[in-house]
Amino acid sequence: MTRDEFLKCTVGMCSCAAYAMLPQSVAMAESENPEMDALKWKVDASKKRFAKLVGILNDTLDEPTRKNVFERLGRACAQDYRNLTDEYKGNVKGFLDLIQQKWVEKAEYDEKAGTIRIVDKSKTCTCPLVKESLTPSTFCDCTLGWQKETYSALLGKPVEVELEESILRGGKRCVFRITVV
């Protein structure tokens, strides 16, 4: 008798319930692709843990400090894409054309007004750290930092960023307005 059969018999549950009770390692061993299942489990567990950390930071830090921490995180994350922003430095229109082809639904630049408006095409939060049902919406301050770092580097000038709409804040998508300061 296998461990699964034993659990089904002794607990008196259907196989679905018994499967759910199995340790993660046993469940993955029965999978078609245990390595992928293990990776998915780790990613999901990491997102849940990160959502808890964001909640703890919300409860522990005053608002200006928390916003500063998340913005700095976003700016640091944007540094990972510095080769792309360096390639397009001074060529904002070229960068916006590129991201509109690949990642965003709309990218509008009003050079005279000094504004850029970005409408993301994804219907889910694109941050790999976010667990949408658990991550507090205050974490959107991170993406504001990402946008500030990216567009300041492209334009060679400081910018301010406003979040017009956000998935984590109940919106259908994320929309950003970047303004040259």
What would the mean pLDDT of 155-164 be, rounded to a whole number? 96
CA distance 56 to 41: 23
Q: pTM for this structure?
A: 0.78
pLDDT tens, position by position, 136-159: 999 999 999 999 999 999 999 999
Count of C-beta atoms within a 10 Å radius of residue 76:
13
Q: At which residue do the structure tokens 């830090």 appear? A: 61
pLDDT tens, position by position, 30-72: 678 899 999 999 999 999 999 999 999 999 999 999 999 999 9
Count of C-beta atoms within a 10 Å radius of residue 1:
7
- Read off the pLDDT band of 128 (50, 70, 90): very high
Answer yes or no: is pLDDT of 162 > 60. Answer: yes
